[in-house]
Structure formats: C-alpha cells, structure tokens
Amino acid sequence: MAHPISAFQAAYISIEVLIALVSVPGNILVIWAVKMNQALRDATFCFIVSLAVADVAVGALVIPLAIIINIGPQTEFYSCLMVACPVLILTESSILALLAIAVDRYLRVKIPVRYKSVVTPRRAAVAIACCWIVSFLVGLTPMFGWNNLNKMRRTQEPNASQEFVITCQFETVISMEYMVYFNFFVWVLPPLLLMLLIYLEVFNLIRKQLNKKVSSSSNDPQKYYGKELKIAKSLALVLFLFALSWLPLHVLNCITLFCPSCETPHILTYIAIFLTHGNSAMNPIVYAFRIKKFRTAFLQIWNQYFCCKTTKNATSSTTTAEPGN
C-alpha cells in the first residue's frame, strides 16, 4: 500500500515540476531555433543542440524519475537501478557536449583560416555520436555490475529470495565508490578542469590577437576576434553555471564516502539536487541574453508562431548573419 505524501515531499515535487516546466520548453526552443535558422547551423550550435537534448531529457525524464525515487516505492533491485541510471547518462552527455563546445571554440581562434576544413558537419556529427555512446557506457556502468547488489545480499538472510524487494532510493542501489572514484574523479572533474584550461587559452589567444595593430585590409581580424570573445564568454558562463550546479552534489557524495559518520543535513542534499536539475533550465536563459543570434531566433519564433506575425525581415537578417556571432 502506498504511503501518503508528506508536506515536505509535496513541496519537493512542486519545485521539481516547476523546474521541468521551465527546462523542457526552453530547451525545445533552443533546438527549434537552430533548426529554423540557417545562421545557427555551424558546429558550435550543433553541440549546443546536443546539450539541449540532454536538458530536455532531464526535465521530461529525469525529474519524473527523481520524484518517483523521492516517494520511495517498493520495487525489485534492477528496476530501481534502471530508474537511477538516466541521470548519470545525461550528466555525462552534458559534460562531453560542453567539452566539445570548448574544443570547437579553441579551434576557431587557433586555426581560423583552416577551421571550416577541419571541423566539418560530418566530423561534428561523429563527435556528437561518440559523446552519447561514451555517456551511455559511463551511465550504465552500474547496470553492468558496479552497484550495491552484493552489499545488500551480504546483509540479507541466507534463505531469502534472490529477487528481493527494496525501497527504491538512489543511494540504496548506486555505489558511492562508483559515484566518487569513477563518475566524479574520472568523468566529471578532469573534463571540467580541461575545459577551464581550454577557455583560459581561448581568452589568451583572443587577447593576443586583439592587442595586435590591425593593418588596413578588407577582413578585419579585430572584428572576428571581438565576436569570438563575446561568444566564448557566453559559453564559458554556461560551463561555470554547470560546475556551480553539479559540484555541490559531488562534494556531498565525497563526504558520504570518506566520512560515513558525518551527517549531512537533508536540506543541503535537496538544495544540491535542485541545483543539478535547475541547471537544465539555465542555458536557454543564457543564450537569450548573451547570444544575439539566439535572441533574434527566439523573437522570430515567438512572433511567427505565437503572435502570428510575419517576420520576413527577421528571417532574411538572421539567415545572412555571419557565423560565430
């Protein structure tokens, strides 16, 4: 028989639903903007679409599953494990998409002349496919055996059934050793540090180019690198918000593993969870305020499909805009 939902759980569910209602439409709008606007079809925006797909899945799939886990239904071990794994897959997909974006911005400023011949649409598609394949392998590792099943069997009575029923909670089925040693120390922290170094080098290269005296020519390098600086700042902000949203939960996981006697207040855990889920709703807001092409495309979609206004001028201006803006 299902337990009645407490007032605290009701508040938690309400906040999660609110995050999902912001995240899903916002990221669908990002995908829609890239699809309809020819000026948003370069490699960077393809990687942004991959990130948006992961964020849509967080709102549409992970948040409902998190609500189920919070309620704590009685279920078989591997059924609970299947509910817990999607968030691991999508987190890794977001990290790898951010890494691909950082590498793409580095190549834009390091080899601007050869960039289009090096970063082709085909290679970008292969990179996105590889990111998702790696994400599934990393996120489904608990399904392959690195989980708490053996630990639970050791505490089970010898004559108990093999398929025992548990109260489905994330920490009940997911090993903290996996979360800290493999997920965090291998697949979260190193990519974040690598991206930090890449963006530092990107800003360094752009600063050097902007400090050069411009010779009179038709192609103004300061204009190009000025645009690159603006968009690099916006994407670095996306990375900063991701790190700010996800590191608290991983720090709490480290405390749980390395200090079993330490009691973490439940409110801190819930705040950390809200930050991780809320990160999926932040990116469209950043794009709208920081990247002119997205802002123009969002307004075009709003006027054309929701306000029933014709936007021929907007369409022609956005489709002829220079890439990388």
Residue percentage of the chain with pLDDT more than 90: 71
- Exposure string over 190-213, b if 16+ CB within 10 A, otherwise e: ebbeebeebbeebbebbeebeeee
Domain that holds residue 212: 7-306
pLDDT band at 315 (very low <50, low <70, confident <90, very high): very low
Q: For residue range 27-47, list pLDDT tens digits in order.
A: 999 999 999 888 888 888 999
pLDDT band at 310 (very low <50, low <70, confident <90, very high): low
- Does 150 fall in a domain? yes
Predicted local distance difference test score (pLDDT) of residue 229: 92
CATH classification at residue 25: 1.20.1070.10
d(CA 252, CA 75): 26
- Does 266 fall in a domain? yes
Q: For residue range 246-280, list pLDDT tens digits in order.
A: 999 999 999 999 999 998 898 999 999 999 999 99
d(CA 321, CA 324): 9
> Exposed, middle or buried, 18 (CB in 10 Å: 0-12/13-18/19+)?
middle
pLDDT band at 213 (very low <50, low <70, confident <90, very high): low
Confidence check: pLDDT of 313 > 50: no
Confidence check: pLDDT of 88 > 70: yes
- Does 314 fall in a domain? no
Q: For residue range 159-212, list pLDDT tens digits in order.
A: 555 567 899 999 999 999 999 999 999 999 999 999 999 999 999 999 998 887
pTM listed for this prediction: 0.89
Predicted local distance difference test score (pLDDT) of residue 160: 54
- Does 318 fall in a domain? no
- Does 322 fall in a domain? no
d(CA 50, CA 98): 9
Beta-carbon-side half-sphere exposure of residue 157 (alpha carbons within 13 Å): 4
Query: What type of residue sits at position 105?
Result: R
Q: For residue range 97-139, list pLDDT tens digits in order.
A: 999 999 999 999 999 999 999 999 899 999 999 999 999 999 9
- Does 321 fall in a domain? no
Number of domains in the chain: 1
CA distances from 21 to 63, 266, 280 (A): 10, 25, 11
Confidence check: pLDDT of 16 > 60: yes
Residues whose CB falls within 8 Å of the CB of residue 194, separated by 6 or more in sequence, listed in order: 99, 102
- Does 316 fall in a domain? no
